[in-house]
Structure 1
Amino acid sequence: MARTKIDYGIDLGTTNSGISRMENGEAKIIKINGQDDTMPSCIAYNKKGVLAGKKAFAVYRSDQEASLSKDIEPNAFIEFKRTMGTDKKYFSSNIAKDLSSEELSAEVLKTLKSFVTDENVNAVVITVPAAFKNNQIDATRRAAKLAGFEHTEVLQEPVAAAMAYGLDSKKKDGFWLVFDFGGGTFDAALLKVEDGIMKVADTEGDNYLGGKNLDLAVVDEIIIPHIQKNYTIDNILSDDNKKANYRDALKPFAEELKNELSFNTEFNLYKEEGSGTDDDGEEIEIDLTVSQSELEKVLSPVFQKALEISKRLLERNNLQGSSLDSLILVGGPTFSPVLRKMLEDQICKPDTTVDPMTVVSKGAALYASTVTVSEEVAEQTRDRSKIQIEIGHESTTVEMEEFVTLKILVEKTEGIIPEKVFAEITRSDKAWASGQIEINEIGEVIEANLLEGKTNGFEVTLYDNNGNIIESEPKTFTIIQGLGGIGSMQTLPYNFGIELKQRTTGKIVFSQVQGLEKNKSLPVTGTKNNLKTQKQIRPGMESDFIKIPLYQGEHKSEGTRAIYNEHVYDIIISGNDLPALLPENSDVDLTVNIDKSQEVTIQAFFPYLDHTEEIKVPTDKVQSTATTWLANELRKAKGTIEELKEDNVTTDKVQKLENEILELEKKFENNKNDVDGKQEVLTNLRKTLKKIDELSETTEWPKLEEELKEEFYRLEKANADFGNDQTTEIVNQVRTQLDEVLKSQDPKLGAALLDEINSIFIKITLIYQLINIIRGHNQQFDSYSWKNTHRARQLINEGLQVIGNNPTTDELHPIVMELFDLLPDEQKPSGDDTVLVG
C-alpha cells in the first residue's frame, strides 16, 4: 500500500523498544512475535549471526551470570542508547568486531521493522529523549539509515506521550507534566494546553538518570553489602574495572528484587550458584531477604533526583504541583509503587489511564500520520499503473470540519485515465461519506466531517462515468480532531550559542544566539551581529582562520565558561573560503538556522567583503568524550585553584575544592575507557568549576579596585605627557565614571570601565606601545618559539630601523601584527585570537 504519510512510529528505548503504525485512523501497536507490545533493546551475536530482543536478553543474562565466576568475552549488549553519539565501542568476540552504539541500535530497529509483514517500511518517526544533545540525535538518524530507513524524522519522547494522552483525554485545557523515567534517561516536559492545542512550555532532563541507576543502587546498597558480610571480595572492589564488571553482573538480581517487591511486601533472593567466587576461591551463595520498606530506602534517593528536576521545572515556571491538570507517566520504572507515592506526596497524583510502556510509540505513530513521506520514498512505492492522486489537508485540527483537496497527478500516472473521474471520501466508521464528486488535474475541494476527539481515518474511492471502481492510490488519509499546535510542539531543548571573547572583560565565554533560547518552537532562526575578528585573514591562507565554536547551554548559561555547556561543533572559516583580505577587527554577522529535526546551518556574513559563507553542521560527528580534552580541563581546574592560592584565598573551601579536583582526577584515571564514567567526571567537574567561580568572585572586586586605580593613574600620567585638550576632556569624564564605579563596587561595571581606560591609554600612547613591543621582543628573542625565526628577525630589525627615524603608528603597526602572527597561539599576548569578539 502506498502511503503519503510516514504513519510508523518507533520508541527506541534504553531497555525496551516498540513500534506502532496508523491503521484505519488509529495508532496500533505492532506485536513482537505476535504477542508482546515491546522487546528488550538487547543485541547478541553468536557464530551464526545476530539475535535481538528476548533471545538476545537470555544470552545477556547467561553471560552476566557466567562472568561472576570466570572471565568471558561479552557477546550480548544492552543500554547502548546511553552511549549514542559517542566513540564508545562494544567488542564481540564471536564476530571479532568493534560495534558502535549506532550499529547496535540499527539491529534493534531492523528487528522491529521485520515484524511488519504486509508492506515495506522505508520511512519512520523515531523518538528521542528531550534532553538528547545534537550528536545523540544525529547518531539516532545514522542508526535508522543503517537499518534501511530512507526517511527518518525524530520526535521528542515527552511530546509523543502527550500526543497519545491528549487525544484520549477529556482534559483539553491547563498544564500537563510528562514524567518520563526510562531505562537510561529522564525527561520532564511541561505542556500548556488550550482548547486542545498543545505547546511545550519548558523541559528539563538528565541523560544519565534512569532504571540503570536504580539497579546499581540496589546492587551497591543491598546485594554487595550482603556478600561482604559473608565473603571476602576486597580484590574485586579495589579494582575499578573489576568492580564495574561485577556490579553489572549483579544487576539482573537487582531487577528481580525490584520486580518481586512491586507486588510482595517481602522477597527472598536465593542464588546457590552463579554469583562468582570470593578472594579465597569460595563459591558465593546469596540468601537474602529484603522488605518493601528496605527497597524503598534505596530507590527513593534515585527517584528523588527526578522529582527535584520536575519541581525545579515547575518552580521556574511559577507553578506548583497543585497547578497541574495532568501528570502523565512514561517508562517502565514509573510502575513502581514507591515512585507513584512520592509523586503524589510531593507533586500531585499521577494519571494512570495510559500505558507507560506503549504511550510513546503510539504517540510517534500519531505524529507520523501528520508527516508527509519524502518524494524519494514516495516514488519507490508508487504504482504508476494506478491513477495517482494528491490529497491535501490539515493533519490535526480543533475544528469539526476540515477542507480536503483532491486532484489527479497526470504526470505520475502511466495507466489510462477516463475522460471523467469521480471521487468519494468515506469516513472509516461509515457514518459519513461525501458522495461522488468529479475531480481532475486542477483539483477539487471537499468538506470532511470529523468525529470529536478522534483520529479520523478516511478512504478515497475513484469511479468512472459508469460507476465502475478505478484502481488508485493513495487510498487513505487521517485527520486528528482535538489536537492542535503539532507543528510548534517540538522545542529547542537547550540554549544555543557560541564561544567568544567578551569585549568588556577579555574572557572567553558562552554567548547566547538571539532567537535560539531554550523552549523556542522548532524550526527556528537566530542571529548574532556586530561580532569582530581579532586578526586579519589572508585569502588563500588555510593557516589564517576564524573559529566559531557552537555550544548547547542550560538555563543561566550566558557568560559561563564553555566547559559548563555541551560542545556541538567548531565552524572553521579560513583564508581558503574568503575571496579577499579580511582585515583585523572586521565585522561578522551570524545567522543560525535549526530545523524541526535539530539539524543546524550557519551563515557568516562579512560586510567588508560583502560575502556570505554557509556551513551545514555535519551529522556524522561523534562525541569522543575526548580523553585528552577532559584531562586538559582537569589540569586547567587545578591551575585555577593555584590562582586562588596566589591571591591569598586560603579558606577551607579552597582546600575542599582542591580535594574534589584530585578525586575527579582519580576517577578519570580509572574510567578512561568508559564513556559513562567519563561523562560522570565531566558532570561533576562542571559543578566544581561553578563553585570555584563563585569563590573567585569574592576576590574579584578587591583586585579590580586596585587595578582600576593603578590604570587610571597611568592614564593620567600618559595624558599629561602626550595628551591634548581633547584627551584631557575624555580623561576627566573617566574620572567621574571611576568615582561612581568605586562607590557601587560592581565588578561588571568595573571591568567595562577598565577596558575603556586601557583603550584610551593605548590610543594616547600607541606609538610608544609599538616601540616597546618591538624592543621587548628583540631583547627576549630567543625565549619565543617563532614559527619562522628568520622572518621574525627581519621584522624586528626593520622595526628597530624605523624606530631610529621618527616613527609613525602606520609604519610600526603592520610590523607588530606580522610579528604576532609568527608566535605560537599560547605565546600571543591576546590568547585565542581565532574566536570572535562580542
Structure 2
Amino acid sequence: MARTKIDYGIDLGTTNSAISRMESGEATIKKTDTLKDTMPSSVFINKKKAIQVGDSAYNALKRDKLKAMKTWNDSDSNAYIEFKRTMGSDKTYSSSNLGKGLTSEELSAEVLKTLKSFIKDENVNSIVITVPAAFKNNQKEATREAAKLAGFNHIELLQEPVAASMAYGLDSNKKDGFWLVFDFGGGTFDAALLKVEEGIMKVIDTEGDNYLGGKNLDFAIVDEIILPYIQENFTIDTILANDSKKQILRNAMKFYAEETKIKLSFNDTHNILSDLGDIPGEDDEGEEFELDITVTQTDIERALSPVFQKAIDVSKSLLERNNLKGSSLDSLILVGGPTFSPVLRKMLEGQICKPDTSADPMTVVSKGAALYASTVNVSDEVREQTRDRTKIQLEIANESSTVETEEFVPIKILADKTEGKIPEKVFAEVTRGDKAWSSGKIEINTIGEVIEIQLNEGKTNIFDVVLYDDKGDILESEPTNFSVIQGSKIGSATLAYNVGIEIKSKSTGKIIFTTVKNLEKNQSIPAIGTRNGLKTQKQIRPGMDSDFIKIPVYEGEHNAEGTRAIYNEHVTDIIISGADLPSLLPENSDVDLTVNIDRSEQITVTAYFPYLDFTYDATVERTVSSIETSWLANEIRKAKGSIAELKQDGNSDDAKLQKIESELEQLEKSFENNKNDVDGKQEVLTNLRKSLKTIDELNETTEWPKLEEELKEEFYRLEKANDELGNEKTSEVVNQLRLQLDEVIKVKDVKLANILLEETRSLFVHLTLIYQLIGFIGRHNDNFESYNWTDRDRAKALLNKGQQIIGENPDVDELHPLVVSIIDLLPRNERPSGDDTVLVG
C-alpha cells in the first residue's frame, strides 16, 4: 500500500549517517549492509569507476591518506569524507579514477542513495533529512540539491536538535520544564533550548557553530599529542615548513587520532601503535615513521578540553541570554558520537548540569526524523503517482501527535479520486492496533464524519481503518491505517538566524544589516516577514538592464541588527532591473518587501512598487560561497590593525582587548594550518566575523570623542562657507544647526550626532556646489588616463566642454548635468558615491 505519510528519516551526518522508518508505530533504525546502525559518510571511487560508500570507502580513505605520505602528494586520492562541511561552497573533490571533480552535493547524494538502498521492500520517494540548526541557507539548499540528485521527489528538512528532542520526548517521563539539546556531531555543533509544558515542546532559542565538531577534536589530538611525539622522535622540519606536506601528514595521522578519541570514550588509556611499514614515507633523514604513544585520560583532557569548551561556552551564552542557569534545566540531552567522551560529560556536569544519558546519541536524530516524518503528508505529486484509484479513496484528517488521550478524527470519501463504484451506504470501523478499542461501524460519506478515538498514553498508536457496505462485506480502500503519537507534541521549528537585508541607513548613511519584521531569530516557521517604505536611490529606466535595484538578503546572528552587512552571512542578491519593470520608476520611490519562509526554510521574496502598482517575485536559489585566501589574510591583518588603533586610542576595556587579541592570534594560527582548505577557511571566517563584531563594540566606546571633533570641524567649515556664500535663509538654518550641535554635545548621542553630521555636510555641499563641480571636472581631466571610461571619446568631450564653461562664467545649472553625464561614463566601482543600487531605510 502507498504511504500517505513520509515515514522515513535520514540523519545525514558529517562522519556517520543513518536511516530510520516508522514500523508498527515505532521509529526503527534500518541496519546498514554491515548490520550496523550507522554508516560512515564516506565515498570511494575505485579504478573501475565503481562507487563505494560506507565502511569499505572509509577503509580506502585511510589507505589513500597514508599512501599520500609516500610521495607527499594527495592529488591521486579517490576517497572522501566530511564533505558535509563544504556543502554550499565552491569546493570540488578531484577524482583521478573518474577524471573529474565531484561537488559536496554529488558526494552527499551517493551517501543518500546508499542509505535508500537499505530499504528492500519498497521504493522510497519522500524523505525527511536533518540538518544542523546553525546551517546557513546555501547549505540547506545544497542539502536539498543532494536529495534531488539521489532521486527523492519530496524532500523535507528538519533541524537536528528538533529531531533529537522529538525522539527523546516520546520516551522520557519528563513532560515539563526546560531542555537543552547539546548536539556535538562529527562536523557541527548545535545547542537548542526548548520549553516543555505538558509534553508540548517549543524551541525557544538556538545557537551553534557549523565548523565545530569531531573533526576539530581529531585534529586537536593530532596537533597536541601525535605531532609533538613525531617531532620529538623524528626530524620533520622541512615537512612542517611546507603547507601541503604538513596537511598531508596531519590528514594521515587523523585516523589514529579518531581511533584514540573513540577508545578513550570507554577506556582509561589507549596505545597508539604502528608497526614498521604501516606508515609510508620518511622523515628528513630518511627514517621510516613509527608510532608508540600511550595516551591517558589526562592527555586527552588536555587536548580536547579547549574544543569542548567552545561548545560549552556557546551553550552557556544561550542560557544566559534567556535568563537561565544550568540548574534551571530539567534535561540536558546529548547528541552525537563525541558526547560519549567522559571529558565532555565531566565538563558539562561541572559547568552546566549532569547530562541525561538515556537516549542513544548516535541514533536519536535519525529516529526523531522518522517520528517527524510520520506526521508529514507526502506531497500531492507523490501521492497521485502512487494512488490506487480502483480502491475507495479516503481523506483521514487526524492529528499526528498529541498530549491528549482522546482525539476527534474526520474521515471522508474522495469520490473524485476513486474510479470504482462506491456503494450508496459505506461504513467505517476504526480499531486500535492492540485491539483493545474500536469505534464500531460508523456511516461515512463524501461530506465527512468525525470519529472519536481513544489513545494509549506515551506511545505511537496505530489505528486500522476498514470499510464495509450495508451487507457487511469489506470494501477495498486506502489508506487503511493512520497513527497518532501520544505523550509529546513538537512545536514548529524556529529560525536559527535573523533573516534580513542590506540597506543604506537613512540616519547614518552607512551600509548595514536590518532584520525583516517577523523574521527575527527564534521566530516559528513557516513565517512571513515585511519591510515597507524602503526608498530607491536613483531612477530605474524601463528596458534597461544597466539600471537596477539590488536587494541583498542576509542571515544575521544574535544582535546582528545595525551591524555591517559583511559581518553576516550573504544568502543572495535579488536583482530587479529596468528590463523587469513595466515603466519608469523615479528616484526616491517606495518599495515594500515581503519575505516568505516555508516549513523547510525555502525563501521567496516579493517586492511591490506602489508607484507602478507592480509586483516582482523571486525564489532564493542555491548559491555557492567562495573565499579568496589573499582576501581572508588581508581581513585578519586589518582586524589586527584595528586592535592596534584601539590601544592607541586608549580603550578602557583592557580585558576585552586582550581576549580579542588572543582570539585573533589563534585565528591566524588556524588560518596558517588551513589556508588551502575550503572548510578550514570558512571556519576561520566565521570566527573572524565574531571577533570583528566585538571590535566594533569596542570602537563604539572611543567613537564619541572622534565624532565630536569631526562634527565641530564640519560645522566650523560650514560657518565659514556661509559667511562667504550664504544668505539670510541659509544663515537661519546654520543657527538652528548650532543649537542642535550644542544639545548633541551635551548628551553625547552618537546616533543624533551622525544625523547632524549628515545635515551639516549636506548644507555645506549645497553652499559650495559650484566649487565641488569645478573640482570634480579638474580632477578627472588631470587624471583622465587612470579611469576605466566606458566611452573614452565622449568622456573627453564632456570634460573639455566643462573646462570651457569653467573658463568663462560657470554656474551650477550648466555644470551639474554635465558632471552627472560624466559620472555615468565611469564604472560603478569608480564612481564617487557609495552603492546606489541598495535601498534606503
TM-score by length of 2: 0.92
Q: Is residue 2:521 matched to residue 1:518?
A: yes
1:622 to 608, 621, 624: 624
Post-superposition Cα deviations, 1:714-773, rounded to whole Å, max 9, x if no partner, equal: 333444555555544433322111012222333332211111222344455556655665
Task: Give SS of 1:253's match.
Answer: helix
2:464 to 447, 455, 459: 459
> 1: CA distance between counterparts of 2:721 and 2:40?
75
Structure 1 residues 313, 150: CA separation in 2 closer, same or farther (over 3 Å shift)? same
Specify the code of the residue in structure 1 equivalent to 2:456: L
> 2: CA distance between counterparts of 1:448 and 1:571?
49
Structure 1 residues 745, 671: CA separation in 2 closer, same or farther (over 3 Å shift)? same
Structure 1 residue 569, shift from structure 2 partner: 0.6
Q: Is residue 2:630 matched to residue 1:631?
A: yes
> 1: CA distance between counterparts of 2:662 and 2:324?
38
Matches within 5 A, 1:430-579: 430-486=435-491, 488=492, 490-579=493-582
Matches within 5 A, 1:309-348: 309-348=314-353
> 1: CA distance between counterparts of 2:659 and 2:425?
85
> 1: CA distance between counterparts of 2:351 and 2:400?
38
> 2: CA distance between counterparts of 1:41 and 1:648?
47
Q: Which residue of 2 aligns with 1:2?
A: 2
Structure 1 residues 5, 297: CA separation in 2 closer, same or farther (over 3 Å shift)? same
1:406 to 399, 404, 411: 411
Identical columns (%):
67
Task: Give SS of 1:107's match.
Answer: helix
Structure 1 residue 658, shift from structure 2 partner: 11
Q: Which residue of 2 aligns with 1:369?
A: 374
Specify the code of the residue in structure 2 equivalent to 1:542: D
Contact 2:264 2:341 in 1 (8 A): no
Please identify, of 660-669 and 723-732, the stretch whose mean Cα deviation from structure 2 is larger.
660-669
Structure 1 residues 120, 268: CA separation in 2 closer, same or farther (over 3 Å shift)? same
Please identify, of 184-193 and 377-386, the stretch whose mean Cα deviation from structure 2 is larger.
377-386
> 2: CA distance between counterparts of 1:100 and 1:13?
17
Q: Is residue 2:106 matched to residue 1:107?
A: no
Structure 1 residue 398, shift from structure 2 partner: 2.2
Q: Is residue 2:270 matched to residue 1:275?
A: no
Post-superposition Cα deviations, 1:441-495, rounded to whole Å, max 9, x if no partner, equal: 2222111111222221111111222222222111121112222353x2x111111
> 2: CA distance between counterparts of 1:738 and 1:604?
39
Specify the code of the residue in structure 2 equivalent to 1:18: A
Structure 1 residue 533, shift from structure 2 partner: 2.1
Task: Give SS of 2:489's match.
Answer: coil
Task: Give SS of 2:31's match.
Answer: coil
Contact 2:627 2:682 in 1 (8 A): no
> 1: CA distance between counterparts of 2:702 and 2:167?
54
Q: Which residue of 1 aligns with 2:15?
A: 15
> 2: CA distance between counterparts of 1:777 and 1:68?
58
Contact 1:509 1:561 in 2 (8 A): yes
1:239 to 234, 242, 245: 242
> 1: CA distance between counterparts of 2:807 and 2:384?
77
Q: Which residue of 1 aligns with 2:65?
A: 64
Structure 1 residues 742, 768: CA separation in 2 closer, same or farther (over 3 Å shift)? same
> 2: CA distance between counterparts of 1:205 and 1:123?
28
Structure 1 residues 427, 785: CA separation in 2 closer, same or farther (over 3 Å shift)? same
Q: Which residue of 2 aligns with 1:825?
A: 828
Q: Is residue 2:713 matched to residue 1:689?
A: no
Specify the code of the residue in structure 2 equivalent to 1:113: K
> 1: CA distance between counterparts of 2:250 and 2:644?
40
Q: Which residue of 1 aligns with 2:51?
A: 50
Specify the code of the residue in structure 1 equivalent to 2:624: V
> 1: CA distance between counterparts of 2:214 and 2:529?
37
Specify the code of the residue in structure 2 equivalent to 1:631: S
> 2: CA distance between counterparts of 1:89 and 1:47?
19
Specify the code of the residue in structure 2 equivalent to 1:221: E
Structure 1 residue 837, shift from structure 2 partner: 2.2
Structure 1 residues 791, 637: CA separation in 2 closer, same or farther (over 3 Å shift)? farther
Q: Is residue 2:591 matched to residue 1:588?
A: yes
Gap regions ≥5 residues in structure 1: none
Contact 1:424 1:433 in 2 (8 A): yes
> 2: CA distance between counterparts of 1:16 and 1:667?
25
> 2: CA distance between counterparts of 1:286 and 1:646?
47
> 2: CA distance between counterparts of 1:34 and 1:472?
38
Contact 1:90 1:99 in 2 (8 A): yes
1:161 to 146, 161, 164: 164
Specify the code of the residue in structure 2 equivalent to 1:124: I
> 2: CA distance between counterparts of 1:118 and 1:297?
49
Structure 1 residues 442, 333: CA separation in 2 closer, same or farther (over 3 Å shift)? same
Specify the code of the residue in structure 1 equivalent to 2:12: L
Please identify, of 8-17 and 95-104, the stretch whose mean Cα deviation from structure 2 is larger.
95-104
TM-score by length of 1: 0.93
> 2: CA distance between counterparts of 1:768 and 1:467?
98
Post-superposition Cα deviations, 1:238-278, rounded to whole Å, max 9, x if no partner, equal: 21121112112112212222233333322322211312322
Contact 1:181 1:331 in 2 (8 A): yes
Structure 1 residue 120, shift from structure 2 partner: 1.2
Task: Give SS of 1:161's match.
Answer: helix
> 2: CA distance between counterparts of 1:655 and 1:268?
39
Task: Give SS of 1:90's match.
Answer: strand
Contact 2:271 2:294 in 1 (8 A): yes
Please identify, of 662-671 and 67-76, the stretch whose mean Cα deviation from structure 2 is larger.
662-671
Specify the code of the residue in structure 2 equivalent to 1:23: E
> 1: CA distance between counterparts of 2:673 and 2:360?
41
Contact 2:649 2:702 in 1 (8 A): no
Structure 1 residue 793, shift from structure 2 partner: 4.5
Specify the code of the residue in structure 1 equivalent to 2:505: Q
Post-superposition Cα deviations, 1:561-599, rounded to whole Å, max 9, x if no partner, equal: 223211111111111111222222322222211112111
> 1: CA distance between counterparts of 2:730 and 2:441?
87
Q: Which residue of 2 aligns with 1:360?
A: 365
Structure 1 residues 702, 446: CA separation in 2 closer, same or farther (over 3 Å shift)? same
Structure 1 residues 349, 643: CA separation in 2 closer, same or farther (over 3 Å shift)? closer
1:144 to 143, 147, 156: 147
Structure 1 residues 213, 485: CA separation in 2 closer, same or farther (over 3 Å shift)? closer
Structure 1 residues 344, 357: CA separation in 2 closer, same or farther (over 3 Å shift)? same
Structure 1 residues 659, 22: CA separation in 2 closer, same or farther (over 3 Å shift)? closer
Specify the code of the residue in structure 1 equivalent to 2:53: A
Please identify, of 302-311 and 807-816, the stretch whose mean Cα deviation from structure 2 is larger.
807-816
Post-superposition Cα deviations, 1:529-577, rounded to whole Å, max 9, x if no partner, equal: 3322222222111111122211111112122222321111111111111
Task: Give SS of 2:583's match.
Answer: coil
2:426 to 421, 425, 438: 421
Contact 1:235 1:279 in 2 (8 A): yes
Structure 1 residue 672, shift from structure 2 partner: 5.2
Specify the code of the residue in structure 1 equivalent to 2:353: C
Q: Is residue 2:291 matched to residue 1:292?
A: no
> 1: CA distance between counterparts of 2:784 and 2:94?
52
Contact 2:15 2:42 in 1 (8 A): yes
> 1: CA distance between counterparts of 2:659 and 2:131?
38
Contact 1:241 1:670 in 2 (8 A): no
> 1: CA distance between counterparts of 2:427 and 2:688?
68
Structure 1 residue 94, shift from structure 2 partner: 2.5
> 1: CA distance between counterparts of 2:643 and 2:15?
45
Contact 1:200 1:491 in 2 (8 A): yes
> 1: CA distance between counterparts of 2:812 and 2:7?
69
> 1: CA distance between counterparts of 2:443 and 2:40?
51
Structure 1 residues 551, 43: CA separation in 2 closer, same or farther (over 3 Å shift)? same
Please identify, of 368-377 and 667-676, the stretch whose mean Cα deviation from structure 2 is larger.
667-676
Q: Is residue 2:254 matched to residue 1:251?
A: yes
Task: Give SS of 1:436's match.
Answer: strand
